[in-house]
Amino acid sequence: MNRISTRTIMFTAALLASAGGSPPAHAAEPTAPAKMTASEPVFHPLPDAQGAMQLPFSESVRAGDMLYLSGQIGTDATGKLVTGGIRAETKQLMDNIGAALTRGSSSFDRVVQCTVALVDIKDWPAFNEVYRTYFPKHFPARMAYATTALALGAHAEVQCNAVVSR
């Protein structure tokens, strides 16, 4: 018997003993793991403007009760970056995230984690000023970092994960 199986059996026996039970008679023999069933992921394609560019990623992917969004930048419906600097781009990218959440059967109040990339970390306060308005109930867990460049010359990119509405 290999060490992993022995440890697993010893842990199970100790767990049963601590709960007032006793290990089953066949506990010394390894058993096949129970078959687990998982739903297949659902891939949501990019919307029209981005899809027409044939970018090699999905807008989002649903796996179980989670929705994983691709990063969003501040592009408008035509796929062009909005003008006006970090505040305008942040508003547009957050609106883009909101639309992707809706298409994926979720919403901002179900977002649990975001990752933020900024070309200039000095934009952090202005970014936060806009970002916070999209989360009136609670703030998701978040990581932010500075990078040297983003697609289309964007100043910010945000990626989020959310629980899917039932």
For the chain, 166 residues long, give each residue's pLDDT as a single digit of tens: 444 333 433 433 443 344 444 444 444 444 444 444 457 877 778 776 555 567 788 888 999 999 999 999 999 988 899 999 999 999 999 999 999 999 999 999 999 999 999 999 999 999 999 999 999 999 999 999 999 999 999 999 999 999 996 6
Residue 47's pLDDT is 76
Q: Which residues contact 13 (CB under 8 A, 6 or more apart)?
A: 23, 27
User: For the chain, what are the domain ranges?
Assistant: 1-37, 42-163
Residue 33's pLDDT is 43
H-state helical runs in 19-131: 48-52, 85-103, 124-131
Residue 56's pLDDT is 82
Global model pTM greater than 0.95: no
Residue 105's pLDDT is 93
Contact between residue 106 and residue 165 where contact means Cβ atoms under 8 Å apart: yes
Residue 28's pLDDT is 47
Rounded Cα distance between 114 and 3, Å, is 39
What does CATH list as the number for 42-163? 3.30.1330.40
Residue 49's pLDDT is 56
Q: What Å distances lie between residue 123 and 60, 75, 85, CA to CA? A: 27, 18, 10
Residue 86's pLDDT is 98
Residue 16's pLDDT is 37
CB-based burial of residue 91 (10 Å sphere; 0-12 exposed, 13-18 middle, 19+ buried)? middle
